[in-house]
Amino acid sequence: MHLDVQAAVGTTWEAVGLVWLIGLAFTKRTVRTQPAGSRLFPMVLTLFGFFLLGSRYFRAGWLGERFLPYTHAVAVAGLAVTIAGCLFAVWARIMIGSNWSGRATVKDVHELIVKGPYALARHPIYAGLLLGGAGTAIAIGEARCLLGLALLFLGFAVKIGQEERLMLEAFPQAYPAYRRRVKALIPGVF
């Protein structure tokens, strides 16, 4: 009996969503946030990116074309990468704890988290979600997933810029030193 890889990929992402929903109840009060208008663009990019990765609505035409030939072994490898990326993102979400927000914010008594996955990447949630997205693209193997992954990256890149500006304002001494020590997404690279 073969593992239903697509179902397992979907279940993995559903588990991530559940962790995020539960975590919403445990966040600190926001004291400063970005303007509402600046949130819209990266939000649309990331939502559409996730929709392309996980939805079957875009399987027609060139978006449904395979960029990888399907083999069960490749699909299982993609599932393993999806799980690894999602676990890394969840670990980062747990470590940031009540400082987390879905938008660029500074929380009441905000702490600069630099341990755990934050010692490896300044934005480990995005790094993990991108790795999970890459795994999903491998597991599914359709062009829509590559486009979705590109949109996720663009949305996260915009949001990283917004978050970096707020962190530099909130931690004018500590954050520049942290930025010199730790790369944004890929340890030692980028």
Scanning the chain, the segments in alpha helix (DSSP H) are: 5-24, 36-54, 72-96, 124-140, 143-170, 174-181
Could you read off the pLDDT tens digit of each residue along the chain, which spans 190 residues? 468 999 999 999 999 999 999 999 999 998 888 887 888 999 999 999 999 999 888 888 889 999 998 999 999 999 999 999 999 999 999 999 999 998 888 898 999 999 999 999 999 999 999 999 999 999 999 999 999 999 999 999 999 999 999 999 999 999 999 999 999 999 989 8
Domains of the chain listed by start with CATH number? 26-181 (1.20.120.1630)
Overall pTM surpassing 0.75 (yes/no): yes
Instruction: Provide the pLDDT for residue 57.
Output: 84
Among residues 31, 115, 138, 127, the alpha carbon closest in space to that of 85 is found at: 127
